[in-house]
């Protein structure tokens, strides 16, 4: 599969809400995931850490809706835009329902996602 094919299938799974399956199929064992914030999860390295971040996020947010737009492709990278309506269960913003948009940029190598960066 080339980058556009991977992007299309990854996006299809995200649009269906199957984020775990998308990661399971396409994350490299050595995937690096970066968030645009400070803290322990600003950079996660390796499949276990990245999966743990996803699990933490799922456990600590009530998701009212999650829309995925894309994919947008360039070379070995693709971008997705997310529209998220969510209430955090913990932290400073606990209980505050928030609507936000963000962009994820994914880098593909040898058929797997080796890096994802989230922009907001």
Token pair 């799974």 in the structure block, residue: 13
User: Which of 32, 47, 105, 114 contacts a second copy by CB under 8 A?
Assistant: 105
User: Which of 2, 95, 99, 119 contacts a second copy by CB under 8 A?
Assistant: 119
Asked if 10 touches a second copy (CB under 8 A), the answer is no
Of 13 and 73, which has the nearer Cβ to a second copy?
Answer: 73
Give 35-61 as a DSSP string: -SS-STTSEEESHHHHHHHHHHHHHTE
| 3-state DSSP assignment of residue 1 | coil
Asked if 115 touches a second copy (CB under 8 A), the answer is no
């Amino acid at each position: 599969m080339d980058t556009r094919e991977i992007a299309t299938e990854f996006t299809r799974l995200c649009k269906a809400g199957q984020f775990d399956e998308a990661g399971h199929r396409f994350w490299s064992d050595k995937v690096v995931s970066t968030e645009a914030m400070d803290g322990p999860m600003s950079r996660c390295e390796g499949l276990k850490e990245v999966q743990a971040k996803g699990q933490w996020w799922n456990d600590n947010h009530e998701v009212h809706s999650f829309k995925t737009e894309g994919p947008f492709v360039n070379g070995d990278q693709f971008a997705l835009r997310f529209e998220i309506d969510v209430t955090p269960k913990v932290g400073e913003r606990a209980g505050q329902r928030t609507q936000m948009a963000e962009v994820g940029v994914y880098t593909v190598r040898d058929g797997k996602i080796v890096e994802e960066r989230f922009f907001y």
